[in-house]
Amino acid sequence: MRALERFPATRIVATPAALDAFAWPKGALVLRTAPDEALALTAEKISFAGDEHAIVERDDGFTGAWVPAKEALAFLERACEWEPPAVRPTFAQGAVAGLPAKLFFEAERVLFLVPAPYAADLQERLT
């Protein structure tokens, strides 16, 4: 069984322009999950600026694991009907193994992230 962990994060819903312009803290992995929404994977508190009406909420509701790239791509070949992107690094999201997954592709590894309620299923299906 692959060990999964919760990824501390902050979710920000704001205007696309504000999200585009914001200087994210160093070390935060920022996944742009929608034009008006970002998921910043960091334990650091984010003081978002640029949209006075932005919703900025701490969110510890994502669970996942970094998987070596070769293993990840082999898994995706079995479990993902859409074509994983070729460029690195890049973010993609969609159904993987029947789960709502967010993926971050680096050259040597891939982050698999799902909402924590699906953690048990991800763990079972990644194995």
Partner 1 sequence: MSKPASRIIFEGRPVDFAPGETVLAALLKAGRAPTPGGCVCMGGDCPHCVATVDGVAYVRTCQTLAKPGMVVEPHPLKDHPPLLAPGATSQHTAARNIHCDVVVIGQGSSGRKAADEARAAGKRVVTLEAADGQEAVGVYPGPLVVARASDGMWHLHPKESIVVATGAAEIQPVAPGNGLRGIYTPRAAERLAAGGIEFGKLVAVGAPPKNVACEKVDGELVRFEGRERIEAVVVKTAKGEERFACDTVCVNLGLQPRNMLWRMGRELPIDVRVVGDAARESDLPPCPTAGTLCTCAGVEVSDLESVFARGFRELELVKRATLAGTGTCQGGVCVPHIRSFLKAMGERLQDPFTARPVARQLTIGEISAGAWHTATPRTALDGEHRRLGAQMERLGGWWRPWTYGNTLEEYWAVREGVSLCDVSTLGKMLVRGPDAEDLLERLYPTKISTLKTGRCRYVLLLDDRGYVMDDGMVTRDGPNRFALTFTSGGSTHAELWVRDWAEAWKLDVRLLNQTQSLGAINVTGPHATKLLQRAGLAEPPAYLAQTIADVAHVRCRVFRLSFTGEVSYELHHSAADSVKLWRTLMDLGEDLGIKPHGLEALLKLRLEKGHIVVGQDTDFDSTPRRINHEWAVKLDKAAFVGRDAILRTNKVAPDRQLVGLEAEGPPPREGAVVWNGKDYAGYVTSCTFSPVLGKTVMLAWVRMVDGALPETVTVNGREAKRVKTPFYDPEGLRARA
Binding site for partner 1 (CB under 8 A): 6, 11, 13-14, 36-37, 51, 53-55, 57-62, 76-81, 83, 97-99, 115-121, 125
Cα separation, 7 vs 19, in Å, equals 21
- DSSP character at residue 56: E
Tally of CB atoms within 10 A around 103: 22
In the complex, minimum distance from the CB of residue 15 to partner 1, in angstroms, rounded to a whole number: 8
In the complex, minimum distance from the CB of residue 124 to partner 1, in angstroms, rounded to a whole number: 9
**Across the chain, where does the E strand assignment appear?**
5-6, 9-13, 29-34, 37-41, 55-59, 62-68, 90-96, 99-105, 109-115
Name the residue nearer to partner 1 (CB basis): 26 or 39.
39
Name the residue nearer to partner 1 (CB basis): 20 or 26.
20
Cα separation, 13 vs 5, in Å, equals 24
Name the residue nearer to partner 1 (CB basis): 26 or 127.
127
Name the residue nearer to partner 1 (CB basis): 14 or 40.
14
In the complex, minimum distance from the CB of residue 8 to partner 1, in angstroms, rounded to a whole number: 8
